[in-house]
Amino acid sequence: MDEKLFDAQFLRKLEYLKIVSRRLHRGERRGDHETYRRGTSLEFADYRSYQSGDDFRYIDWNIYSRLDRLLVKLFTAEEDLTLQILLDTSRSMSFGNPPKSDYARRIAAALGYIALANLDRVGVVTFNSDLGDQLPAHRSRRHIFALFDYLSRVRCEGETGFNRSLASFSLRAGRGGRERAAAPAAGGPTVGPGGASTGAAAGAPAVVVVISDLLDENGFEEGLKALLYRSKDVVLIQVLDVDEIDPRLGGAYRLIDSENGAVKRVTVDSAILEIYRRKVDDFFRGIEDFCLTHGIEYLRTNNQVPVEDLVLKYLRQGMHLH
């Protein structure tokens, strides 16, 4: 474990937290979480009209005899949860003090730790201009070491391709789902010991936590929509540096983009700072509106908020912990 990322006291606090999903997802294995998949449990959920291909065993013949209609009984099934963490590793994430990437990795490690402690599957995928390396989802407690090791090796490079990366992830998840239906054992590389769900990590129903600064000139909406198309339960955590929210600049500058080296000449004064702050507020409001509209949990933080406070307070308020 990377001692720099978490201390022991922080880890002990995380032990008591448990990630839940507001939605119910189907899982590969039975777990503590309800899904909408009408499963094999004895808890009745609902009826629906028979459709071609439904299992005859679930047709309520009594109703058919009374109503002359074929209805299928639906049962809820308790299944496990997969937490997929999409971690932005573009060069802009290395900005800040402490770097936003360190802060993001701590959040990712904390969420992963909590999920693994509650026997959920945890996988991590990095992205910058496109998807990068991934840590396949596992549900073993021993997987925590692999998770931390993976996170400690993450390097920030390249430009941000938020939409493209998330679309690729969604596409891979969909393909993985179909592949799993045909060959459940097929998948990507296995990292760490224990029963790995390889390519299925992306394709499995999961809570997808996206950690990024969202500073992509091409926007973020299409990427998040792509995740939602795959019925993902999406949590968006935006990590920013305080200087990005409230720059402490004054005078004439050549502003250099940390990702592409683009230069912008600007003379910073109170007027332009005021406009900048207004643009930041507009930016935040746009994200909030989008997430509210599309049912995405959105959390915004900066690198000066202690990670433990974020996890213990903000995530609790976000109702993904109980």
**96 vs 109: CA distance, rounded Å:** 19
Select from 185, 256, 292, 319 the one that contacts another protein (CB under 8 A): 256
Of 167 and 215, the one with the shorter C-beta distance to another protein is: 215
Three-point CA angle 236, 177, 23, nearest 5°:
45
Binding mask 115-154 for another protein (x = CB under 8 A): ----------------------------------------
**229 vs 199: CA distance, rounded Å:** 19
Of 283 and 314, the one with the shorter C-beta distance to another protein is: 283
Using alpha carbons only, how large is the chain's radius of gyration in Å?
22
Q: Is 244 in the site for another protein (CB under 8 A)?
A: yes
| Minimum distance, C-beta of residue 106 to another protein, in the bound complex (Å) | 18
Q: Is 257 in the site for another protein (CB under 8 A)?
A: yes
Q: Is 155 in the site for another protein (CB under 8 A)?
A: no
Structure-token pair, residue 220: 């973020």
Select from 27, 31, 39, 96 the one that contacts another protein (CB under 8 A): 96
Select from 50, 58, 145, 253 the one that contacts another protein (CB under 8 A): 253
Q: What spatial distance separates the first Cα and last Cα of the chain, rounded to whole Å?
A: 25
**157 vs 60: CA distance, rounded Å:** 57
**264 vs 95: CA distance, rounded Å:** 18
Q: Is 301 in the site for another protein (CB under 8 A)?
A: no
Query: Would you say 295 and 229 are in contact if contact means Cβ atoms under 8 Å apart?
Result: no
Q: Is 185 in the site for another protein (CB under 8 A)?
A: no
Select from 100, 105, 232, 320 the one that contacts another protein (CB under 8 A): 100
**73 vs 59: CA distance, rounded Å:** 6
| Minimum distance, C-beta of residue 164 to another protein, in the bound complex (Å) | 16
Query: Would you say 260 and 199 are in contact if contact means Cβ atoms under 8 Å apart?
Result: no
Of 91 and 138, the one with the shorter C-beta distance to another protein is: 91
**Closest by CA position to 312, among listed 43, 20, 16:** 16
Of 82 and 101, the one with the shorter C-beta distance to another protein is: 101
Phi-psi region of 214 (alpha: psi -120 to 50; beta: other; left: phi over 0): left
Of 13 and 155, the one with the shorter C-beta distance to another protein is: 155
Please state, as a whole number, how many other Cβ atoms lie within 10 Å of the Cβ of residue 109.
28
Structure-token pair, residue 259: 């990702």
Q: Which stretch binds another protein (CB under 8 A): 9-17, 190-198, 202-210, 265-273?
A: 265-273
Site residues (vs another protein, CB under 8 A): 92-93, 95-96, 100, 160, 213, 215-217, 241, 244, 247, 249, 251-259, 262, 264-267, 269, 271-272, 275-276, 278-280, 282-283
